[in-house]
Structure 1
C-alpha cells in the first residue's frame, strides 16, 4: 500500500490534488473504500433483506439407481398386489370389494359381479400372475347380468371397470370367454342410450331392459365410453356398438357451448343434449370426458379429427382459464370455474382427481405433432375462435413466443410436481383428496399464462413458473390447535386441506408413469417410490390395504375400504413405473380411464363402408 501511495501517479494526478486541497487524503479514500466493501459483503452474505425473486427454484438431487434396483421395486409392488388380491379372495370374493379392516365383504355397489376380480385381470397378466388370472375367469363366466337385484346398474362405472377390464384382458390373453362376456355386457347396457338425445342415462335396469336415472347427466358419465364401445365393435363386428361410440362424438360436437365460453360444462340435459349450467371443471365430474377426446383419437389410429379438435380446444381452455400459480411457493394447479359471459368465479380447489391432467398433457406431447398441427389439417387459431375473445388474442400472442409443445410439457411437469408435493408435504407421505389453494392478497388469482409472460419479459431466467424444482414443506403443526396456526400453515404452504382423506387413488402415479415414459426424467420414478413406501407403511393391514381419513396427522385413522381401482390402477401404474421393460408401449396401447390398456387399431375399408365412417 505504501508504494502505491508514494507513486508519481498519485502525486501528480489532478483528482488526487483536488482532494488534497479539500483536506481529503488518499488514506481517507482507502479507508472509505474498504468500509464500503465490508458493508457490501455483510449485506449480501449475512444481513436479512427482502429480495424480489420472480420464480425461485431449488436444485434437488435424485440418486441414480441401477436397473436391478428398479426391478426389485417392481417386484415389491407385485407382492403388494398379491397381498391385496389374496385378501380379497379369502374374505370377499365373489362380492365386489373387500373391507380390509373387518375382513368382510363390502356392500355390492357395483352390481355384485366381482368387480375387484374383473378390474384386476389385466394387472395380473402384466405381472405374470397366471394362477390368479385362471382363478378369476369363472367369475367372468358365471356372472348373471340380469339378476333381479340388478335394477340400477351404473352405466359409467360398469363400462370402465367391467367392460374395460374384460376387453383389455382379452386383448392380452385372447381368452374367448372375455370377448363373449364383454359383448353380452355391452348389449345389456344399451337401454342407457334410449334418452331423447342419445347421451347415456345414469343406469340401466337389466331385468326390465330400460334406462334408469335422472334426466340430467354428468359430463364424465355421459362422455366416457367411446373407447370401450369402439373396441368392442372392432372385435365383435357389431355396428350397433360402433354407432354408440360415434354418437358421443357427434353429440359433443353439436352442443351449443356459448354460455360456457367454448368449454364443456359439467351438467347436461339428456333430453336436449345441451349443457345446463356454467360450471366447468378439469377434475371430478368431468375428468374422463376430457381424457377420452385425445385417447379416442389415438385408439383409432389417429384418424378421428373431431376428437382431436375437441382435445385441443379443451386443453386451450384449461391452460388459458383454469390454471393458476400460488403466491409463495409458485405451485401450478388447475381449478374449476363458474363461467358466465362476462364473469368467472373460481373455487381454487385442486382435486387429486385433477392429477390425471399432467399425464394427459404429457401423452399429448408424446403422440401429437403439436408444433405442426397443420400436418393433421388442424388450424389452432381457428379452434380458438370458439372460445372467449381473450382466448383468441391469447393464442395469437403466445404462439409468437412459445411453441404449443413446450407449453403442454411445462403444464404437465408443473402440475405433476404440485401433485407430488401434496403427498410429500404430509407427515404420512400420502396425498389429500382435495386442497384449497392460496390465491389472495396482492397475488390474487395469478393465471399461469400471465406468470409465463412475466417470466418471458424478465429474460426467461430459470425454469418456467411452476416448473422449477421445489422441496416439500415439513413444518407440520400436527395439533392444528388454533385458527392462527391454520392461517400460518395456509400462508406458508400455499394451500389448506379441504378433504384430508386418501382413498388409494391412482391419478398422481398415473401422471408420474406417463411423464417417466415420455420424458425419461427419473425424478418421477423417485416420487412414485416415495409414494409406494408411504402406502406400504400407512395403509397396509393384515387383509389388504385401507383408505386413510386424515393424511395430515401422525395419529391418522384408517377407513375400512379397499376400492377395486387400487388394484386396477394404482398398483398397476406403480408396477409399470418401476418395471424396466416397457410392457405397454404408448404407440401401441391406450389406457382407458380405469387404466385398462386397449390396443391401437385402424378401421379397415370394409368396416368404414359398413359403419359409415368417413
Structure 2
C-alpha cells in the first residue's frame, strides 16, 4: 500500500511538472502573441495616420507620392468605411469616432457615377453593416439601406444575374460580361441588410443570383471564368479557385453558416467535391490547386497565387483541416520563394507568372483560421514571419505600399482600402486575445467585415 501511495505521489508530481511546463509554455506563447498584436496595431496606425494626413476624405492614399486617390473621380470614402470595423476591434476609439463622424456627415450615394457592384457591395455595404452591428449607430444602417436600394438595379437582367456596373443616381446598368465571384458574392451583405431592415427584396435578389450561377455549373460540377448575364451562357470555360471565381465558393459555405440557408448548404456540398477532384493537383508530394476545363475536368494550367491562398481558410471552416494544412504549406512555400508572395506562380516549375504584390490578405486569413481551429502554435510562427516580411519590404514613410516586383522589391504607389480592412485585421486577430472578437458569433464577408447572426 505504501509503495502504491509513493508511486501515485510520484505520478502526481510528474503530471504537475508536465502540465505546469505546458502551462508556462502556453503563457509565454500568449504573452509573445500579445506583443506581436501590439506591433500589428502600431503598424496599422502608421498606415491609418498617414491616410488621415495625406488623403483624408478620399477613397485611398497613394503612399509613395503622398497623394489621394478616388475610384470614380469623387470620393465614396472607401478607406474610412472599409477600415472602421478594424479601428473598432483594435480599440482605437478616437480614430474610430473621427472616421465614423466623417462617414455619417459626408458620405452620400446620390452620385451620377457608374460603380462596380461587386467591389461596392463587399467594401462599402459590408463595411457599413459590420460597423453598424459594432456601434448600433442607425445612421450607418440608413446609409447601407440607401446604398443597397441603389444597387438593386444590377439584378434587372433577363437571367437575374447582376450586371457589373450600376449608376448610383440613375439606376442605369452596363457590362453584361461578368464572372461567378461577381454574381455569387453578394448574399452575405444583401442578406444581412435584409434581416436588419426587414426588407426581403435584398435577400431574394442576391440569393437568386447565387442560385442562377450554381444552376449553370457543368455536368461535372464546375463553373467557368466568364458568363454573360443576358444570355446566361459561359464565355470562358476556365475553372479554378482564383480571382473571378474564388469567393463564389466561399459564400456558398458562409451563407449557410450566417443564415442557416439549407439551399446554400446543399449547393456547397454539390460543388466542393468537383473542386477537390478536378482542380486539386499533387506535385512533388505537395497539394496545389490549378486550372481545368469546366466541361471535361482536364487540367489546363498549373497556376496558383495570392488570391488562391484564401482556400485553406474555407477548407478549415468547413471541416477539411487536413487538406487545408497541406494547401497552407504550399502557400507558405510560395511566400518564402522571395520573402513576399508573387501574385501568380507556376507551381510545377516554381517560376513566377506575375511578379507583383498588392498587400493581399488571403494568406494571413488562412493562417488565422488554421490557428483558430487547430490551436497549433506553428501558425502564429508562420504569421509572424509573414508579418515581419510585410513590414520589412512594404513599409514606407507614408504607410504601406504594394510591390511592382517581389524579386527586386521595387515599389508600386498603391495602398488599397482592403489593406486596412483585411490584411491588418487578420494579422491582428491572429495574435490578439480570443475575446477581441467572438469568432463563433460572426461570419466574415470576403472583405473581412464580421457580420453577426441576426436571428
Identify the residue that residue 266 of structure 1 maps to in structure 2.
225
1:80-95 to 2 correspondence within 5 Å?
Answer: 80-95=43-58
User: Which of 438, 449, 454 is residue 585 of structure 1 equivalent to?
Assistant: 438
Distance 1:524 1:75, change over 3 A: same
Task: Determine whether 1:299 maps to 2:258.
Answer: yes
Tell me if structure 2 keeps the 8 A contact 1:256–1:274.
no
Instruction: Pick closer, same or farther for the CA change 1:107–1:252 going to 2, 3 Å.
Output: closer
Alignment partner of 1:189: what SS?
helix
* Equivalences for residues 102-501 of structure 1 within 5 A: 102-109=65-72, 112-141=75-104, 142-148=106-112, 150=113, 152-213=114-175, 215-255=176-216, 257-258=218-219, 261-300=220-259, 302=260, 304-327=261-284, 330-341=285-296, 344-365=298-319, 408-426=320-338, 429-438=339-348, 490=349, 495-501=350-356
How many angstroms does 1:239 deviate by?
A: 2.0
TM-score, length of structure 2 as denominator length = 0.91
Unaligned runs of 5+ in 2: 1-24
- Specify the SS of the correspondent of 2:236: coil
Change (3 A) 1:315 1:109: farther
1:216 Cα deviation after fit: 2.1
User: In the aligned structure 2, how far is the partner of 1:202 from the partner of 1:170?
Assistant: 26
1:264, CA displacement in angstroms?
Answer: 1.9
Provide the TM-score with structure 1 as the length reference. 0.68
Q: Cα deviation per residue 1:7-66 (whole Å; 9 max; x = unaligned)?
A: xxxxxxxxxxxxxxxxxxxxxxxxxxxxxxxxxxxxxxxxxxxxxxxxxxxxxxxx9743
Report the secondary structure of 1:321's partner residue.
Answer: helix
Measured in 2, the distance between the counterparts of 1:552 and 1:325 equals 26
C-alpha deviation, 1:140, in angstroms: 2.1
- 1:542-572: CA deviation from partner (whole Å, max 9, x where unpaired): 110011122223xx21111111111100000
C-alpha deviation, 1:256, in angstroms = 5.6
Deviation at 1:273, TM superposition (A): 3.2
Greater Cα offset, 107-116 or 574-583: 107-116
- The worse-fitting range, judged by mean Cα deviation, of 76-85 and 262-271 is 262-271
Contact 1:589 1:600 in 2 (8 A): yes
2-structure distance, mates of 1:256, 1:350? 22
SS in 1 for 2:293: strand
Aligned length: 429
Deviation at 1:111, TM superposition (A): 5.9
- Give the secondary-structure state (helix, strand or coil) at the position aligned to 1:587: helix
Task: Point out 4+ residue stretches in structure 1 off by more than 3 angstroms.
Answer: 272-277
Native 8 Å contact 1:224 1:288 kept in 2: yes
Q: How does 1:12-27 map to 2 (within 5 A)?
A: none
| Alpha-carbon distance in structure 2 between the residues aligned to 1:97 and 1:583 | 27
C-alpha distance in 1, partners of 2:210/2:307? 23
Q: Could you say what secondary structure the match of 1:498 adopts? A: strand
Whether the aligned pair in 1 keeps the contact of 2:218 and 2:294 (CA below 8 Å) is: no
Superposed CA RMSD in Å reads: 1.7
2-structure distance, mates of 1:145, 1:265: 33
